[in-house]
A = this chain, B = another copy of it.
Amino acid sequence: MNERAKLVTNAIGRPVPTVVNGQEQAPYKGVAQTDPTGHKQAPPVRSCKDYPPSGDKRVGSLQEALERCGLRDGMVISNHHHLRNGDRVALEALQTAGKMGVRDLMWFPSASFPCQEPVIDLMEAGVVHHIEGSMNGPLGDYCSQGRMQGMGVLRSHGGRWQAIQDGEVEIDIAVIAAPSADAFGNCNGSHGPTACGSLGFGLADSIYADRVIVVTDNLVDFPCIPWQIQGNNVDFVVEVDSIGDPSKIVSGTTVITRSPDRQRIAELVARFVRDSGIMRLGFSFQAGAGGIALAFVTYLSRMMRQAGVKASFVRGGSTKYLVEMLQEGLTGYILDGQTFDLDAVHSIATDPRHVPTSPFTSYNFHGKGNFASMVDVAVLGATEVDVNFNANVNTHSDGRLLHGIGGWQNCLAAGCTILAVPSFRDRIPVIVDEVTTVTGPGQLIDVVATERGIAVNPARQDLLEALKGSDLPLRPIEEIKAEVERFCGGKPKKAQVTDKPVAVIKWVDGTLIDTVFQVAQ
Protein backbone atom coordinates (compact mmCIF):
# COMPACT_ATOMS: atom_id res chain seq x y z
CA MET A 1 0.00 0.00 0.00
CA ASN A 2 2.94 2.29 0.65
CA GLU A 3 4.44 2.16 -2.82
CA ARG A 4 4.43 5.48 -4.63
CA ALA A 5 1.19 5.50 -6.56
CA LYS A 6 1.10 6.49 -10.20
CA LEU A 7 -0.45 9.94 -10.55
CA VAL A 8 -2.55 11.32 -13.36
CA THR A 9 -3.85 14.86 -13.85
CA ASN A 10 -7.62 15.20 -13.54
CA ALA A 11 -10.01 17.59 -15.29
CA ILE A 12 -9.35 20.35 -12.79
CA GLY A 13 -5.61 20.03 -13.19
CA ARG A 14 -4.81 18.18 -9.99
CA PRO A 15 -2.58 15.12 -9.68
CA VAL A 16 -4.48 12.09 -8.38
CA PRO A 17 -3.40 8.48 -7.90
CA THR A 18 -4.73 5.74 -10.16
CA VAL A 19 -4.81 3.23 -7.31
CA VAL A 20 -5.70 3.88 -3.66
CA ASN A 21 -5.41 1.18 -1.00
CA GLY A 22 -5.31 -1.40 -3.74
CA GLN A 23 -8.49 -0.19 -5.46
CA GLU A 24 -8.43 1.35 -8.94
CA GLN A 25 -9.65 4.92 -9.05
CA ALA A 26 -11.17 7.21 -11.64
CA PRO A 27 -9.97 10.81 -11.88
CA TYR A 28 -12.49 13.65 -11.60
CA LYS A 29 -13.79 14.46 -15.09
CA GLY A 30 -15.81 17.59 -14.27
CA VAL A 31 -19.17 18.32 -12.71
CA ALA A 32 -21.71 15.64 -13.70
CA GLN A 33 -19.33 14.16 -16.30
CA THR A 34 -19.04 10.64 -14.92
CA ASP A 35 -21.78 8.08 -15.50
CA PRO A 36 -22.24 5.47 -12.81
CA THR A 37 -22.03 1.85 -13.83
CA GLY A 38 -23.07 -1.37 -12.23
CA HIS A 39 -25.52 -2.25 -9.55
CA LYS A 40 -25.96 -1.37 -5.91
CA GLN A 41 -24.17 -3.26 -3.17
CA ALA A 42 -26.07 -6.45 -2.35
CA PRO A 43 -25.55 -7.74 1.18
CA PRO A 44 -26.08 -11.47 1.84
CA VAL A 45 -29.65 -12.68 2.31
CA ARG A 46 -30.27 -13.61 5.94
CA SER A 47 -33.04 -15.67 7.48
CA CYS A 48 -35.19 -15.29 10.58
CA LYS A 49 -34.35 -18.92 11.32
CA ASP A 50 -30.95 -17.71 12.51
CA TYR A 51 -32.27 -14.96 14.82
CA PRO A 52 -34.15 -15.33 18.14
CA PRO A 53 -37.94 -15.46 17.60
CA SER A 54 -38.35 -13.41 20.77
CA GLY A 55 -36.58 -10.57 19.02
CA ASP A 56 -34.09 -10.31 21.87
CA LYS A 57 -30.68 -9.87 20.24
CA ARG A 58 -28.79 -8.78 23.32
CA VAL A 59 -25.37 -10.22 23.99
CA GLY A 60 -23.22 -9.71 27.05
CA SER A 61 -20.51 -7.43 25.73
CA LEU A 62 -19.14 -5.63 22.73
CA GLN A 63 -16.39 -8.23 22.55
CA GLU A 64 -18.93 -11.06 22.41
CA ALA A 65 -20.82 -9.23 19.68
CA LEU A 66 -17.63 -8.71 17.66
CA GLU A 67 -16.73 -12.38 18.09
CA ARG A 68 -20.17 -13.50 16.95
CA CYS A 69 -19.86 -11.18 13.96
CA GLY A 70 -16.76 -13.13 13.01
CA LEU A 71 -14.31 -10.24 13.44
CA ARG A 72 -11.00 -11.03 11.79
CA ASP A 73 -7.88 -9.39 10.34
CA GLY A 74 -8.37 -6.90 7.55
CA MET A 75 -12.07 -6.24 8.11
CA VAL A 76 -13.82 -2.91 7.62
CA ILE A 77 -15.36 -1.52 10.83
CA SER A 78 -17.70 1.45 10.59
CA ASN A 79 -19.14 4.00 13.01
CA HIS A 80 -21.30 7.10 12.73
CA HIS A 81 -20.21 10.39 14.31
CA HIS A 82 -23.48 11.69 15.76
CA LEU A 83 -21.92 11.61 19.22
CA ARG A 84 -19.18 13.90 17.91
CA ASN A 85 -16.41 14.67 20.37
CA GLY A 86 -18.33 12.92 23.16
CA ASP A 87 -18.32 9.49 21.48
CA ARG A 88 -17.14 6.50 23.52
CA VAL A 89 -18.32 3.66 21.29
CA ALA A 90 -16.09 3.85 18.20
CA LEU A 91 -12.83 3.90 20.14
CA GLU A 92 -14.10 1.16 22.45
CA ALA A 93 -14.93 -1.03 19.45
CA LEU A 94 -11.48 -0.58 17.92
CA GLN A 95 -9.67 -1.04 21.22
CA THR A 96 -11.70 -4.19 21.91
CA ALA A 97 -10.71 -5.50 18.49
CA GLY A 98 -7.11 -4.75 19.42
CA LYS A 99 -7.42 -6.71 22.66
CA MET A 100 -8.86 -9.57 20.64
CA GLY A 101 -5.60 -9.64 18.67
CA VAL A 102 -7.05 -8.50 15.37
CA ARG A 103 -4.87 -6.57 12.91
CA ASP A 104 -5.04 -4.44 9.80
CA LEU A 105 -8.57 -3.16 10.21
CA MET A 106 -9.84 -0.42 7.96
CA TRP A 107 -11.74 2.06 10.11
CA PHE A 108 -14.59 3.71 8.26
CA PRO A 109 -16.21 6.36 10.46
CA SER A 110 -18.53 8.98 9.00
CA ALA A 111 -16.14 11.36 10.76
CA SER A 112 -13.54 11.22 13.50
CA PHE A 113 -12.86 13.67 16.29
CA PRO A 114 -10.10 14.57 18.75
CA CYS A 115 -11.63 12.21 21.35
CA GLN A 116 -10.54 9.40 19.03
CA GLU A 117 -6.88 10.44 19.04
CA PRO A 118 -5.93 7.09 20.72
CA VAL A 119 -6.68 5.43 17.37
CA ILE A 120 -3.16 6.63 16.56
CA ASP A 121 -1.86 4.07 19.08
CA LEU A 122 -3.93 1.39 17.36
CA MET A 123 -2.42 2.41 14.01
CA GLU A 124 1.07 2.32 15.47
CA ALA A 125 0.33 -1.16 16.87
CA GLY A 126 -1.01 -2.40 13.52
CA VAL A 127 -4.57 -2.96 14.75
CA VAL A 128 -5.90 -0.26 12.44
CA HIS A 129 -4.30 -0.14 9.01
CA HIS A 130 -5.83 3.10 7.82
CA ILE A 131 -8.86 5.36 8.03
CA GLU A 132 -11.32 6.21 5.31
CA GLY A 133 -13.44 9.05 6.59
CA SER A 134 -13.23 12.64 7.71
CA MET A 135 -10.34 13.17 10.10
CA ASN A 136 -10.82 16.24 12.23
CA GLY A 137 -7.74 17.32 14.14
CA PRO A 138 -5.11 14.90 15.45
CA LEU A 139 -5.91 11.94 13.19
CA GLY A 140 -5.76 14.17 10.14
CA ASP A 141 -2.47 15.56 11.35
CA TYR A 142 -1.13 12.01 11.79
CA CYS A 143 -2.21 11.21 8.25
CA SER A 144 -0.55 14.40 6.96
CA GLN A 145 2.73 13.24 8.39
CA GLY A 146 2.57 10.14 6.20
CA ARG A 147 2.50 7.82 9.16
CA MET A 148 -0.68 5.95 8.28
CA GLN A 149 -0.04 2.60 6.57
CA GLY A 150 -2.73 3.06 3.94
CA MET A 151 -4.01 6.22 2.31
CA GLY A 152 -6.74 8.33 3.85
CA VAL A 153 -9.88 8.60 1.72
CA LEU A 154 -12.08 11.61 2.38
CA ARG A 155 -15.64 11.59 1.22
CA SER A 156 -18.53 13.96 1.67
CA HIS A 157 -21.56 12.72 3.61
CA GLY A 158 -23.27 12.01 0.30
CA GLY A 159 -20.11 10.46 -1.08
CA ARG A 160 -19.90 8.10 1.86
CA TRP A 161 -23.46 6.90 1.14
CA GLN A 162 -22.55 6.60 -2.54
CA ALA A 163 -19.43 4.56 -1.76
CA ILE A 164 -21.33 2.17 0.50
CA GLN A 165 -24.32 1.89 -1.82
CA ASP A 166 -22.15 1.34 -4.88
CA GLY A 167 -20.04 -1.29 -3.15
CA GLU A 168 -16.79 0.72 -3.26
CA VAL A 169 -16.56 0.16 0.47
CA GLU A 170 -17.92 -3.10 1.83
CA ILE A 171 -18.53 -2.75 5.56
CA ASP A 172 -17.96 -5.99 7.43
CA ILE A 173 -19.17 -4.82 10.83
CA ALA A 174 -21.05 -1.61 11.60
CA VAL A 175 -21.02 -0.58 15.25
CA ILE A 176 -23.85 1.86 15.80
CA ALA A 177 -24.04 3.91 18.98
CA ALA A 178 -27.70 4.48 19.84
CA PRO A 179 -29.06 6.88 22.47
CA SER A 180 -32.21 4.70 22.57
CA ALA A 181 -32.67 1.12 21.39
CA ASP A 182 -34.85 -1.90 22.02
CA ALA A 183 -33.55 -5.46 22.29
CA PHE A 184 -34.47 -6.09 18.64
CA GLY A 185 -32.14 -3.30 17.52
CA ASN A 186 -34.67 -0.64 16.54
CA CYS A 187 -33.03 2.57 17.61
CA ASN A 188 -33.01 6.34 17.50
CA GLY A 189 -30.88 9.29 18.46
CA SER A 190 -33.72 11.54 19.47
CA HIS A 191 -34.47 10.12 22.89
CA GLY A 192 -32.52 9.15 25.98
CA PRO A 193 -29.94 10.72 28.30
CA THR A 194 -27.28 10.86 25.55
CA ALA A 195 -29.67 12.00 22.80
CA CYS A 196 -27.96 13.37 19.71
CA GLY A 197 -30.99 13.91 17.43
CA SER A 198 -30.77 12.26 14.03
CA LEU A 199 -28.90 8.98 13.38
CA GLY A 200 -28.82 9.51 9.62
CA PHE A 201 -25.06 8.97 9.22
CA GLY A 202 -25.43 5.40 10.45
CA LEU A 203 -28.29 4.49 8.15
CA ALA A 204 -26.29 3.28 5.14
CA ASP A 205 -24.11 1.21 7.45
CA SER A 206 -27.21 -0.48 8.91
CA ILE A 207 -28.61 -1.30 5.47
CA TYR A 208 -25.49 -2.44 3.64
CA ALA A 209 -23.07 -3.80 6.26
CA ASP A 210 -22.64 -7.53 6.50
CA ARG A 211 -23.12 -7.45 10.29
CA VAL A 212 -24.56 -4.72 12.49
CA ILE A 213 -24.10 -4.18 16.22
CA VAL A 214 -26.19 -1.61 18.10
CA VAL A 215 -24.62 -0.29 21.30
CA THR A 216 -26.88 1.58 23.70
CA ASP A 217 -26.96 2.98 27.21
CA ASN A 218 -30.71 3.35 27.12
CA LEU A 219 -32.50 0.09 26.42
CA VAL A 220 -36.24 0.66 26.03
CA ASP A 221 -39.13 -1.76 25.69
CA PHE A 222 -40.00 -2.89 22.19
CA PRO A 223 -40.95 -1.06 20.06
CA CYS A 224 -38.40 1.76 20.20
CA ILE A 225 -40.36 4.57 18.54
CA PRO A 226 -39.36 6.22 16.30
CA TRP A 227 -36.96 3.75 14.74
CA GLN A 228 -34.47 5.82 12.79
CA ILE A 229 -32.51 2.61 12.26
CA GLN A 230 -34.43 -0.64 11.89
CA GLY A 231 -33.82 -3.67 14.05
CA ASN A 232 -34.51 -5.81 11.00
CA ASN A 233 -31.00 -4.88 9.84
CA VAL A 234 -29.35 -5.50 13.22
CA ASP A 235 -27.53 -8.65 14.35
CA PHE A 236 -26.67 -7.91 17.97
CA VAL A 237 -27.53 -5.40 20.70
CA VAL A 238 -25.08 -4.51 23.45
CA GLU A 239 -25.97 -2.60 26.60
CA VAL A 240 -23.25 -0.40 28.09
CA ASP A 241 -23.17 2.09 30.94
CA SER A 242 -22.47 5.05 28.72
CA ILE A 243 -22.14 5.58 24.99
CA GLY A 244 -20.71 9.05 25.41
CA ASP A 245 -20.36 12.30 27.25
CA PRO A 246 -23.62 14.24 26.77
CA SER A 247 -21.88 17.59 27.25
CA LYS A 248 -19.66 16.90 24.23
CA ILE A 249 -22.35 15.25 22.11
CA VAL A 250 -24.53 18.34 21.86
CA SER A 251 -23.82 21.86 22.94
CA GLY A 252 -25.92 23.22 25.74
CA THR A 253 -26.44 26.03 23.32
CA THR A 254 -24.73 26.99 20.07
CA VAL A 255 -22.81 30.22 20.03
CA ILE A 256 -23.06 33.00 17.49
CA THR A 257 -19.85 34.73 16.50
CA ARG A 258 -19.02 37.84 18.52
CA SER A 259 -16.34 39.02 16.12
CA PRO A 260 -17.45 42.27 14.47
CA ASP A 261 -15.83 41.23 11.17
CA ARG A 262 -17.67 37.94 11.13
CA GLN A 263 -20.90 39.57 12.17
CA ARG A 264 -20.43 41.86 9.18
CA ILE A 265 -19.91 38.87 6.85
CA ALA A 266 -23.08 37.27 8.17
CA GLU A 267 -25.06 40.45 7.63
CA LEU A 268 -23.67 40.91 4.11
CA VAL A 269 -24.67 37.37 3.22
CA ALA A 270 -28.19 37.88 4.56
CA ARG A 271 -28.53 41.11 2.61
CA PHE A 272 -27.20 39.36 -0.49
CA VAL A 273 -29.83 36.64 -0.14
CA ARG A 274 -32.53 39.25 0.34
CA ASP A 275 -31.47 41.75 -2.32
CA SER A 276 -30.78 39.16 -5.01
CA GLY A 277 -34.39 38.04 -4.73
CA ILE A 278 -33.55 34.58 -3.42
CA MET A 279 -35.42 35.40 -0.22
CA ARG A 280 -38.97 35.05 -1.43
CA LEU A 281 -42.10 33.20 -0.36
CA GLY A 282 -41.44 29.46 -0.26
CA PHE A 283 -37.66 29.65 -0.69
CA SER A 284 -35.24 27.37 1.12
CA PHE A 285 -31.78 27.63 2.55
CA GLN A 286 -29.08 25.64 4.25
CA ALA A 287 -26.59 26.97 6.75
CA GLY A 288 -24.27 25.16 9.12
CA ALA A 289 -23.66 25.51 12.81
CA GLY A 290 -20.52 27.64 12.66
CA GLY A 291 -20.45 31.08 14.19
CA ILE A 292 -20.92 33.01 10.93
CA ALA A 293 -23.67 30.70 9.72
CA LEU A 294 -25.60 31.10 12.96
CA ALA A 295 -25.30 34.87 12.78
CA PHE A 296 -26.48 34.72 9.17
CA VAL A 297 -29.60 32.82 10.29
CA THR A 298 -30.47 35.49 12.84
CA TYR A 299 -29.95 38.32 10.32
CA LEU A 300 -31.96 36.52 7.68
CA SER A 301 -34.75 35.70 10.16
CA ARG A 302 -35.05 39.38 10.94
CA MET A 303 -35.25 40.27 7.26
CA MET A 304 -37.81 37.55 6.59
CA ARG A 305 -39.92 38.78 9.47
CA GLN A 306 -39.72 42.36 8.19
CA ALA A 307 -40.65 41.31 4.67
CA GLY A 308 -43.32 38.83 5.74
CA VAL A 309 -41.53 36.01 3.90
CA LYS A 310 -41.78 32.39 4.94
CA ALA A 311 -39.42 29.60 3.82
CA SER A 312 -40.81 26.25 2.74
CA PHE A 313 -37.97 24.41 4.43
CA VAL A 314 -34.52 24.89 5.88
CA ARG A 315 -31.86 22.22 5.77
CA GLY A 316 -28.79 21.42 7.67
CA GLY A 317 -27.30 21.02 11.00
CA SER A 318 -30.07 22.19 13.29
CA THR A 319 -29.69 24.60 16.18
CA LYS A 320 -31.97 26.63 18.40
CA TYR A 321 -31.95 29.38 15.76
CA LEU A 322 -33.60 27.12 13.19
CA VAL A 323 -35.95 25.78 15.86
CA GLU A 324 -37.03 29.33 16.67
CA MET A 325 -37.74 29.92 12.97
CA LEU A 326 -39.86 26.78 12.88
CA GLN A 327 -41.77 27.71 16.00
CA GLU A 328 -42.31 31.24 14.75
CA GLY A 329 -43.62 30.00 11.41
CA LEU A 330 -40.70 31.43 9.40
CA THR A 331 -40.16 27.97 7.92
CA GLY A 332 -42.54 25.10 7.29
CA TYR A 333 -40.01 22.39 8.05
CA ILE A 334 -36.51 21.67 9.27
CA LEU A 335 -34.95 18.84 7.25
CA ASP A 336 -32.27 17.81 9.70
CA GLY A 337 -29.00 16.08 8.91
CA GLN A 338 -27.27 16.66 12.26
CA THR A 339 -28.64 17.99 15.49
CA PHE A 340 -26.28 20.35 17.22
CA ASP A 341 -27.78 21.67 20.44
CA LEU A 342 -30.26 20.78 23.14
CA ASP A 343 -33.07 22.91 21.71
CA ALA A 344 -32.70 21.12 18.39
CA VAL A 345 -32.63 17.68 20.06
CA HIS A 346 -35.82 18.52 21.94
CA SER A 347 -37.43 19.78 18.74
CA ILE A 348 -36.58 16.73 16.62
CA ALA A 349 -37.94 14.49 19.37
CA THR A 350 -41.27 16.27 19.64
CA ASP A 351 -42.13 18.31 16.53
CA PRO A 352 -43.22 16.35 13.45
CA ARG A 353 -42.19 19.30 11.26
CA HIS A 354 -38.58 18.79 12.40
CA VAL A 355 -37.71 15.80 10.23
CA PRO A 356 -34.58 13.65 10.48
CA THR A 357 -32.98 13.04 7.09
CA SER A 358 -30.15 10.85 5.90
CA PRO A 359 -27.37 11.32 3.36
CA PHE A 360 -29.56 9.21 1.06
CA THR A 361 -32.40 11.72 0.98
CA SER A 362 -30.22 14.79 1.13
CA TYR A 363 -26.89 14.21 -0.51
CA ASN A 364 -26.33 10.90 -2.32
CA PHE A 365 -25.39 11.83 -5.89
CA HIS A 366 -26.03 8.29 -7.09
CA GLY A 367 -29.75 8.41 -6.44
CA LYS A 368 -32.79 9.50 -8.40
CA GLY A 369 -32.20 13.09 -7.33
CA ASN A 370 -31.60 14.40 -3.84
CA PHE A 371 -32.63 17.33 -1.68
CA ALA A 372 -29.39 19.32 -1.98
CA SER A 373 -30.11 20.57 -5.48
CA MET A 374 -33.57 21.76 -4.39
CA VAL A 375 -32.13 24.20 -1.85
CA ASP A 376 -32.18 27.80 -3.11
CA VAL A 377 -29.12 28.99 -1.23
CA ALA A 378 -26.41 27.31 0.82
CA VAL A 379 -24.11 29.29 3.08
CA LEU A 380 -20.84 27.48 3.67
CA GLY A 381 -17.32 27.98 4.98
CA ALA A 382 -13.87 27.20 3.56
CA THR A 383 -10.23 27.27 4.64
CA GLU A 384 -9.20 28.77 1.28
CA VAL A 385 -10.78 29.93 -1.95
CA ASP A 386 -8.91 30.85 -5.11
CA VAL A 387 -9.49 33.43 -7.83
CA ASN A 388 -11.24 30.77 -9.91
CA PHE A 389 -13.62 30.19 -6.97
CA ASN A 390 -12.19 26.71 -6.35
CA ALA A 391 -12.35 26.10 -2.64
CA ASN A 392 -10.67 24.02 0.03
CA VAL A 393 -12.21 22.84 3.27
CA ASN A 394 -9.78 20.06 4.14
CA THR A 395 -6.25 21.39 4.46
CA HIS A 396 -4.65 24.50 5.85
CA SER A 397 -2.22 26.57 3.80
CA ASP A 398 0.62 24.64 5.47
CA GLY A 399 -0.69 21.47 3.83
CA ARG A 400 -1.95 19.79 6.97
CA LEU A 401 -5.16 17.79 6.68
CA LEU A 402 -7.25 18.93 9.63
CA HIS A 403 -10.89 18.88 8.53
CA GLY A 404 -13.44 16.57 6.92
CA ILE A 405 -15.69 17.41 4.00
CA GLY A 406 -19.01 16.96 5.79
CA GLY A 407 -21.92 17.84 3.52
CA TRP A 408 -19.95 20.71 1.99
CA GLN A 409 -19.41 19.22 -1.48
CA ASN A 410 -23.01 18.04 -1.61
CA CYS A 411 -24.36 21.47 -0.75
CA LEU A 412 -22.62 22.95 -3.80
CA ALA A 413 -25.60 21.61 -5.76
CA ALA A 414 -27.77 24.40 -4.31
CA GLY A 415 -29.21 27.09 -6.57
CA CYS A 416 -26.74 29.59 -5.12
CA THR A 417 -23.65 28.66 -3.13
CA ILE A 418 -22.13 31.32 -0.91
CA LEU A 419 -18.83 30.92 0.89
CA ALA A 420 -18.96 33.14 3.95
CA VAL A 421 -15.34 33.50 4.97
CA PRO A 422 -13.09 36.02 6.66
CA SER A 423 -10.61 37.37 4.11
CA PHE A 424 -7.72 36.22 6.33
CA ARG A 425 -7.08 34.11 9.41
CA ASP A 426 -4.03 34.51 11.68
CA ARG A 427 -2.77 37.06 9.11
CA ILE A 428 -2.84 34.40 6.39
CA PRO A 429 -5.00 35.34 3.37
CA VAL A 430 -7.99 33.05 2.74
CA ILE A 431 -8.33 34.18 -0.88
CA VAL A 432 -5.40 32.79 -2.83
CA ASP A 433 -4.06 32.22 -6.34
CA GLU A 434 -4.44 28.49 -6.06
CA VAL A 435 -5.92 26.52 -3.20
CA THR A 436 -3.74 23.98 -1.39
CA THR A 437 -6.41 21.33 -1.95
CA VAL A 438 -9.43 21.50 -4.27
CA THR A 439 -12.42 20.19 -2.34
CA GLY A 440 -14.95 21.75 -4.69
CA PRO A 441 -14.73 23.24 -8.19
CA GLY A 442 -15.25 26.96 -8.68
CA GLN A 443 -17.85 26.18 -11.31
CA LEU A 444 -20.24 25.38 -8.45
CA ILE A 445 -19.30 28.26 -6.14
CA ASP A 446 -21.28 31.38 -6.89
CA VAL A 447 -20.37 33.90 -4.25
CA VAL A 448 -17.50 34.58 -1.86
CA ALA A 449 -18.55 36.91 0.94
CA THR A 450 -15.87 38.47 3.15
CA GLU A 451 -15.80 41.39 5.53
CA ARG A 452 -14.07 43.34 2.72
CA GLY A 453 -16.81 42.79 0.21
CA ILE A 454 -18.63 40.23 -1.85
CA ALA A 455 -17.24 38.60 -4.99
CA VAL A 456 -19.76 37.07 -7.38
CA ASN A 457 -18.56 34.35 -9.75
CA PRO A 458 -18.56 35.98 -13.22
CA ALA A 459 -20.37 32.88 -14.49
CA ARG A 460 -23.39 34.02 -12.49
CA GLN A 461 -24.35 37.09 -14.55
CA ASP A 462 -27.94 36.48 -13.45
CA LEU A 463 -27.00 37.25 -9.85
CA LEU A 464 -25.05 40.35 -10.87
CA GLU A 465 -28.03 41.44 -12.96
CA ALA A 466 -30.43 40.92 -10.04
CA LEU A 467 -28.20 43.05 -7.83
CA LYS A 468 -27.86 46.02 -10.18
CA GLY A 469 -28.23 49.20 -8.18
CA SER A 470 -27.71 47.34 -4.91
CA ASP A 471 -25.71 49.04 -2.17
CA LEU A 472 -23.91 45.79 -1.38
CA PRO A 473 -20.08 45.98 -1.62
CA LEU A 474 -19.74 43.83 -4.75
CA ARG A 475 -16.11 43.56 -5.85
CA PRO A 476 -14.05 41.35 -8.17
CA ILE A 477 -12.39 38.53 -6.25
CA GLU A 478 -8.95 39.61 -7.53
CA GLU A 479 -9.45 43.04 -5.99
CA ILE A 480 -10.34 41.62 -2.59
CA LYS A 481 -7.38 39.26 -2.83
CA ALA A 482 -4.96 42.07 -3.63
CA GLU A 483 -6.23 44.12 -0.72
CA VAL A 484 -5.84 41.22 1.70
CA GLU A 485 -2.34 40.52 0.48
CA ARG A 486 -1.38 44.13 1.08
CA PHE A 487 -2.87 43.92 4.55
CA CYS A 488 -1.22 40.60 5.43
CA GLY A 489 2.12 41.43 3.87
CA GLY A 490 1.93 39.14 0.88
CA LYS A 491 0.59 35.84 -0.37
CA PRO A 492 0.55 32.84 1.94
CA LYS A 493 3.63 30.65 1.80
CA LYS A 494 3.19 27.56 -0.34
CA ALA A 495 2.71 24.40 1.66
CA GLN A 496 5.94 22.39 1.96
CA VAL A 497 5.02 18.83 1.01
CA THR A 498 6.80 15.75 -0.29
CA ASP A 499 5.71 13.78 -3.36
CA LYS A 500 4.09 11.09 -1.22
CA PRO A 501 0.28 11.05 -1.41
CA VAL A 502 -1.22 10.44 2.02
CA ALA A 503 -4.90 11.00 1.34
CA VAL A 504 -7.32 11.58 -1.50
CA ILE A 505 -10.39 13.79 -1.73
CA LYS A 506 -13.28 12.12 -3.49
CA TRP A 507 -15.83 14.09 -5.46
CA VAL A 508 -19.55 13.33 -4.97
CA ASP A 509 -19.54 10.81 -7.83
CA GLY A 510 -16.66 8.78 -6.40
CA THR A 511 -13.95 10.20 -8.68
CA LEU A 512 -10.78 11.77 -7.28
CA ILE A 513 -10.76 15.55 -7.24
CA ASP A 514 -7.50 16.04 -5.37
CA THR A 515 -4.69 14.52 -3.37
CA VAL A 516 -3.16 15.44 -0.02
CA PHE A 517 0.60 15.02 0.12
CA GLN A 518 2.80 14.31 3.10
CA VAL A 519 3.85 17.45 4.90
CA ALA A 520 7.61 17.97 4.76
CA GLN A 521 9.14 17.54 8.23
What residues make up the interface of A, taking CB atoms closer than 8 Å to B?
Answer: 32, 35-49, 51-55, 57, 165-166, 184-185, 212, 221-223, 225-227, 230-235, 282, 312-313, 332-333, 335, 352-353, 355, 360-361, 364-371, 373-374, 413, 509
Cβ–Cβ < 8 Å partners of A46 in chain B: 36, 366-368
* Closest B residue by C-beta to A410: B48
Q: Are B42 and A313 touching (Cβ within 8 A)? A: no
Q: Judging by beta carbons under 8 Å apart, are A39 and B42 in contact?
A: yes
Who on chain B is nearest to A45 by CB?
B36
Q: Give the 7 A-B CB pairs with smallest separation, nearest first.
A: A39-B42, A53-B373, A51-B369, A42-B42, A32-B49, A36-B45, A55-B374
Question: A458 → chain B, closest Cβ, in Å?
Answer: 21
Min C-beta distance of A212 to chain B, whole Å: 8
Provide the bound-state CA to CA distance between A47 and B43, in Å.
21
In the complex, chain B residues whose CB is within 8 Å of the CB of A353: 225
New contact pairs (18) apart from A36-B46, A40-B44, A48-B366, CB-CB < 8 Å: A45-B166, A45-B366, A46-B366, A48-B365, A51-B368, A53-B369, A54-B374, A55-B371, A57-B368, A221-B282, A221-B332, A222-B374, A223-B313, A230-B361, A232-B361, A232-B364, A234-B368, A235-B368
Q: In the docked arrangement, what's the CA distance between A183 and B37, Å?
A: 27
Residue among B40, B371, B374 making CB contact with A43, cutoff 8 Å: B40
Contact B223 A335 (CB under 8 A): yes
Contact A313 B222 (CB under 8 A): yes
B52 near A45 (CB under 8 angstroms)?
Answer: no
Q: Which residues of B contact A35 (CB under 8 A)?
A: 47, 49
Whether the pair A230, B360 counts as a contact (CB closer than 8 A) is yes
Known A223-B355, A225-B333; judge A36-B43 contact (CB<8 A).
Answer: no
Bound CA–CA A509/B32 (angstroms) = 42
Q: A48-B413, A369-B55 are in contact. Are A40 and B42 (CB under 8 A)?
A: yes
Which B residues lie within 8 Å of A47 (CB)? 32, 35-36, 365-366, 509
Q: How far is the CA of A41 from the CA of B166 in the complex (A)?
A: 13
Judge whether B42 and A232 touch: CB under 8 Å. no
Contact A232:B165 (CB < 8 A) given known A40-B43, A48-B370, A366-B46: no
